[in-house]
A and B are shown apart, each in its own frame.
Chain A
């Protein structure tokens, strides 16, 4: 079987010849495409450090076989900022001290972007915490993370309303 796949990663088409069907999306991003912003924490779907958006939805890239996702659209932490301008979720994590060591942060931020797109949590901090429970932070920056998600969600909603007006 042909093990070549084609992905759109952060808006750019990437053709990759896999040498083995065992390659996960996480390993493909880090080892083949040199996009090391997506972190390998547990590699077993328990920590959330590898969170990316796959066709617009947040998933654990460590538990997805690359070969199974030929043709997919992927957004990673490297694709969020517009040039020097940070994405509102990135800016909110800085403003609210939503991290300490930073290792889990790309996963936290991608998860937050996914959460806001899902639109299920509203402005209830309890629902935000529940919806972020797939991302562990061993520094314990959870309080800042929740505040950052809530503020970024508001920023994006306000921007959406301005665009619609």
Chain B
């Protein structure tokens, strides 16, 4: 780990001033940043510790019915907030399917949004990686790339965004509140993460010094509470990043899908909302044919970036399954293995 200066500002304004300098990075829990620093992937010259900034650790219901999640709310606290989990069950399920209990106790909402890819070549400083060292090339392109992107990738970068919770947040029209040098602004979560293009080193639309204050779910997002799921395929049962994941949410009226929401994870450099699939579902009866058509629409533009063509069919099947489970109704209690396709609501055992 490189040496760095450590500052702990007392206010958001002081934090932004301290973090605008080149080489500065925000520190919250540090569960991703310290890992990157230990591997020499990140070498910040200054850490700006925001973990004690006041007022950013609250879950609030706003007068218009929206819910505001402070950037410092811990993953475990949000997932186990009874009212939040009941209102946004797919978000809670995604949170509990991510990382381990220890990490969920530390990791924050803002940090989750800002976490970096787990591409093995990004993590290996001996490899060429345009995200880590712009212009050096991409060793993933001709390397071990079964886990890499099938949507929105470029020749410069085929990495995926690893977040689980961003997937249902994108599906539910979450908004990110940001404060920067020029004051406050907000943007849809969908606009926060960038596709790689020719500049994969830039993960997000944030400028130097920009600080995420909160994530907001609009009141309408609560309308999907009765039929919402997050499903995540992993290469081991627990404590693994998604091979492919899907957040599916339906609003049913009189046996027909009045409105659908769908986003995928593990397939692109950002959570991948599919409005084509949502439109294909609107007005249809919630049956297997509708779900299969939606899955086709969601992956219509997918193409392998290497030995990962299997992920496209896997994603189609996972989308159809997530929609079917959403249509069957949000379970009263999350399954023992949250988001696992191998876990029934009753808690099927994965160990005989």
Name A residues whose Cβ lies closer than 8 Å to a Cβ of B: 1, 3, 20-22, 24, 43-45, 48, 51, 54, 57-60, 62-65, 67-68, 111, 114-115, 118, 120, 124-127, 129-135
Q: In the complex, what residues of B have CB within 8 A of residue A67's CB?
A: 6, 49
Known: A43-B38, A63-B34, A120-B80. A134 touches B100 (CB 8 A): yes
CA distance A115 to B101 in the complex (A): 8
A59 contacts B351, C-beta separation under 8 Å: no
Which residue in chain A gives the minimum CB-CB distance to B347? A126
Name B residues whose Cβ lies closer than 8 Å to a Cβ of A: 1, 3-8, 27, 29-31, 34-35, 38-39, 47, 49, 51, 76, 80, 99-103, 105-106, 237-239, 336-338, 343, 347, 349-351
B350 contacts A126, C-beta separation under 8 Å: yes
Q: How far is the CB of B9 from chain A (nearest CB, A)?
A: 11
Q: In the complex, what residues of A have CB within 8 A of residue B349's CB?
A: 125-126
Known: A111-B101, A134-B102, A134-B239. A124 touches B347 (CB 8 A): yes
Known: A60-B31, A65-B34. A133 touches B100 (CB 8 A): yes
A111 contacts B47, C-beta separation under 8 Å: no
Q: In the complex, what residues of A have CB within 8 A of residue B38's CB?
A: 43-44
Q: Count chain A CB atoms within 10 A of each CB in B101, B237, B238 and give the residue with the most.
A: B101
B51 contacts A68, C-beta separation under 8 Å: yes
Q: Count chain B CB atoms within 10 A of each CB in A48, A64, A130 and give the residue with the most.
A: A130
Contact sample, A vs B, 19 pairs, CB 8 Å cutoff: A1-B8, A21-B5, A21-B6, A45-B35, A48-B102, A58-B102, A60-B106, A63-B30, A65-B6, A65-B34, A65-B49, A67-B49, A115-B101, A126-B337, A132-B101, A133-B100, A133-B237, A133-B238, A134-B102
Q: How far is the CB of B333 from chain A (nearest CB, A)?
A: 10
